[in-house]
Every structure is written in C-alpha cells, then in structure tokens.
Amino acid sequence: MKSIFKNKKIKRIALIGPESTGKTTLCEQLSNHFKTVWVPEYSRDYVSKLNRTYTLQDIELCTKKQMEKEDELMQKANQFIFADTELIVAKIWCEDVFNSCPAWIENEIGKRKFDLYLLTYPDLQFEADPVRENPHRRKYFFDLYKSELEKRNFDFEIIRGKGSSRFQNSLEAINRAKLSMPA
C-alpha cells in the first residue's frame, strides 16, 4: 500500500495506548480544538458487528481500512490530523492474539511514521464494552507500546491525568513537539 501523504504541512498525530485510556475522547477534543479532522478506530465498529470470533484476516482488513480512511481524511485536514489508532497497535494485537504479525504491517510502520505519538497511560478507570478484551493487562500493553516506540526512535509523549488535565497535557505535549505551523 502506498501512502498519499503529499501535504507535508499537515502534521500527523497518533493516539496509541491500552484499551480504555481516553484515546477516542482525546481525538475528538484535539480535533475540535484545532478545527480539523480525526480518524476513528475502524476495528471497533467492525469487530462489534461480527457474529463470530475475529481472525488474523479481520485484523489485516481493519488495518488496511484504517490506513485508507486516514489517507482519505488527510485531504480534509487543517494543520493536524489525529488518528485513534495506528499500525503499532495492529502489530501488537496480531502478535498477542495470533503469535505473529504479517510482514506488510511491520513494513508499513516505518513508511507511515507519525510526527508525534501520544501514548495514553492507563490511569483512567477501565470502562467495559463488548469489544474490549484486556482490563487487567493495560499496563502490560502500555509497556509494549512504549518499548516499540523507543525501539523505533519515534517521537512520543506519555499522556496522564484525568478529565480536562488529560486534554491539557496533550496540548502541552503537542506544543513541546513544536508541530504548530507559523501563523
């Protein structure tokens, strides 16, 4: 799959982290604050509608659809685009459930590197829903994501806090990364 990131003025920010750590809420808040678009997590809707256990092929399909949606929304983005998941999550999901990751996912991670990753810490209370699977493994997954980001030398900030402080911490992380465009 080829990326269509022709507009280098748009800064891509991924929210990555364990389940129920506020990624969707932050995407909505940040996109509203910056008057831009965000990419919802395709797999949540897809998996919730399955009448069977998901497969590795389902994860691959969700990953491809996620990338397509991001490419599509890049055309509507204003200064930033926020993604409610990305390829490192797909890699770790595949490895955790199926003990392997398709090579194409691994290869795409570097090609589709984000300008900044906001790694959400599991300091929020877990909110169960039908697609969440790991309420007692959130710190484990946080550590896996952090290790993967460090190994790849990707720019990331850990986001902690509850309520409005979590949003404020995200804004401060974006400011520290100096991603804002000159006026």
Residue 98's closest CA among 137, 55, 47?
A: 55
- Sheet hosting strand 156-159, strand order edge to edge: 37-39, 80-83, 11-16, 116-120, 156-159
Domain boundaries, the chain: 15-176
The H or E element containing residue 15 is: strand 11-16
The CATH-assigned architecture of domain 15-176 is: 3-Layer(aba) Sandwich (3.40)
For residues 125 and 145, the answer to whether their CB atoms sit within 8 Å is no
Please say if the pLDDT value at position 157 is more than 80.
yes
pLDDT in tens, 18-64: 988 999 999 999 999 999 999 999 998 998 899 899 999 999 999 99
% of the chain with per-residue pLDDT over 70: 92
- CA 103 – CA 82 distance, rounded (Å): 25
The pLDDT-based confidence of 7 (bands split at 50, 70, 90) is: low
For residues 145 and 88, the answer to whether their CB atoms sit within 8 Å is yes
